[in-house]
Structure 1
């Protein structure tokens, strides 16, 4: 039986990746700092504690686990990917979780081998701010390409915004919370943007590890692109309720205390990823209604407090003004 080592495996993408590999017959080990409770504590999953920024700790994990496959879910700096592709150079597959934010040009759609990536300066490569996230992920991709050129079977997967159970960002949960609590909600007019279900990211990682080409990046996203109001309708269906989305343009919102960027999942320019390359090696997306229902059920069952988004009192004031 093959062994998969998941770098980061207790929070969101890593958590689902652990389950994906276990469900497909792999022995699985997790390497992380141990700062978050693991849902696999009672399962047959090996835990190796260490800081992924410490190359010596990562190499000890390699020697202890001797993995066939490595899924790197928490590489946020190019140096992390450069060292990992050296440490795990002899594994059957190393898959780096990059991001759709790595693309440096706004075109429709963004294609793996055509759309330019963000440039990344030495200062950006070691920064931790959101402004440098895309450049850092892009430079991680370039480390994967360089490793592929050296004969390492290293690959990357580029997801857009990810949603699903255990999402600590609450970007999708915000809309679930609004639809669950109110019958009228303000929705900014938003351009198309790709989303992807976390389970589909996990299955993409496994598919790439098993069938991907060395030195290659693969986009992953929903097979179709609902607009924001359609996502809200899907959420309402999953909740068995209805909500009236009051769609407002940027110009209309400018007359209120609200800003479009205050609303999670808003985008002012389309973000569309071409997913044909991933589909060509056998990956399939889960039907969107199914993924939304699973996500809604989890969010509602955990009764979590969602603190993202605009102030509800301001929203209510705007809605009352519209009604009058």
Structure 2
């Protein structure tokens, strides 16, 4: 049985975790069962999208957390509960990590193999477990359904992946992101051997998502009226709540789990119709969904995955992003909160943003563009419709 002092300490950490802005509630963290085997966890990054979820959950579980980053996004509310070290992996400044030891290192922001190499030089033999957060973009072919972790990876076609920089990556993100993530995975194995877990998330969504790729959908449903639904409504979509991802990564650390995992959800097939109806169940209001075929949208110059974010037609080269095999991650403890919870919390977070940010949706087509597409489609042929909540 834990001592009274340990119980009070864990309660204080749970309260601190729940106080983190735009992360989670103190009540939800208080329900987390503390571990009887606290770890020393080093998180590289930790102040971006999913990192704060890892911090909140790790604190609630009673772990000792150290963050290493450039300090450009300070989090003073963590003072006294999280050790914060500063450095710059882009310049190779890892002095703050030298001579230190941790049970596990969670590497969140890395796309450059050189960053993994440099961390390996400093931490090799000083950590027991290394968790590298990669991406499903590592696969050589993203079109087929059911991509498993053993599918071939994208090949790097440059001269030397270890010579790539943030500048070179930014100059050709589309061509380099996947191959450099794959090369970073290989470097992780070279540096840390079998004590590596590689996590390949799909589209990460929920509160704190600054991309708005998923957010566009519930905002559009909430706006009501006639809404364009691409395809026949059966194309699958996949995504994962950043909190589910962050908490599961901490559990991988606790169990010292190694291997490679596709981390996306849900744990059932979610088609486009089910998605928009699920969103409407949360937002309510009058709306009418109109199916528009993918070939017509292509004729109109629609950019799949951008104008209609996270969705791809069945014959698209990224269609596999909606139907990745995630069974291995589920078997390793990945769990998903209900879609309605993700959407409700996301909209609540979005309503709390500054007015100018809230009015600027960073993904998806404009309402004017959608209206023009619907008018063009109606002019060509009468589409099939799904009526929902017209009262």
Structure 2-normalised TM-score?
0.74
Q: Are residues 1:32 and 2:77 paired? A: no
User: Contact between 1:77 and 1:140, CA under 8 Å: does it hold in 2?
Assistant: yes
Q: 1:81 to 1:225 in 2, by over 3 A?
A: farther
Q: Which has the larger radius of gyration?
A: 2
- Which of 117, 123, 132 is equivalent to 1:82? 117
Equivalenced residue count is 318
**Offset, 1:160:** 0.6
**Offset, 1:58:** 2.6
Q: Helix, strand or coil: the match of 2:311?
A: coil
**Offset, 1:263:** 1.5
**Offset, 1:320:** 3.9
User: Contact between 1:158 and 1:219, CA under 8 Å: does it hold in 2?
Assistant: yes
Q: 1:141 to 1:229 in 2, by over 3 A?
A: same
Structure 2 distance, partners of 1:159, 1:12, is 13
Q: 1:146-225 alignment to 2 at 5 Å?
A: 146-149=190-193, 153-189=195-231, 191-214=235-258, 216-222=259-265, 223-225=267-269
Structure 1-normalised TM-score?
0.88
Match of 1:270 in 2: 320
Instruction: Structure 2: give runs of 5+ residues left out of the alignment.
Output: 1-37, 380-391
Q: Helix, strand or coil: the match of 1:71?
A: strand
Structure 1 distance, partners of 2:89, 2:286, is 45
Q: 1:1-324 alignment to 2 at 5 Å?
A: 1-38=38-75, 40-42=77-79, 44-55=81-92, 57-63=93-99, 66-89=101-124, 90-105=126-141, 106-112=143-149, 114-123=150-159, 125=161, 126=164, 127-128=168-169, 129-149=173-193, 153-189=195-231, 191-214=235-258, 216-222=259-265, 223-256=267-300, 258-261=302-305, 262-267=307-312, 268=316, 269-271=319-321, 272-302=323-353, 304=358, 305-322=360-377
Structure 1 distance, partners of 2:157, 2:303, is 31
**Offset, 1:241:** 3.2
**Offset, 1:91:** 0.9
**Offset, 1:310:** 2.0
Deviations 1:261-282 (A, max 9, x none): 4221122323222222223333
User: Contact between 2:87 and 2:96, CA under 8 Å: does it hold in 1?
Assistant: no
Structure 2 distance, partners of 1:257, 1:195, is 25
User: Contact between 2:42 and 2:66, CA under 8 Å: does it hold in 1?
Assistant: yes
User: Contact between 1:188 and 1:260, CA under 8 Å: does it hold in 2?
Assistant: no
Q: 1:111 to 1:48 in 2, by over 3 A?
A: same
Q: Helix, strand or coil: the match of 1:51?
A: coil
User: Contact between 1:179 and 1:242, CA under 8 Å: does it hold in 2?
Assistant: no
**Offset, 1:156:** 1.2
User: Contact between 1:258 and 1:315, CA under 8 Å: does it hold in 2?
Assistant: no
**Offset, 1:110:** 1.6
Q: Helix, strand or coil: the match of 1:270?
A: helix
Deviations 1:46-96 (A, max 9, x none): 2222212243x33423546x3222111111111212222342222122111
Q: 1:308 to 1:281 in 2, by over 3 A?
A: closer
**Offset, 1:36:** 2.4
Q: Helix, strand or coil: the match of 2:309?
A: coil
User: Contact between 2:39 and 2:63, CA under 8 Å: does it hold in 1?
Assistant: yes
**Aligned-pair Cα RMSD in Å:** 2.5
Q: 1:86 to 1:93 in 2, by over 3 A?
A: same
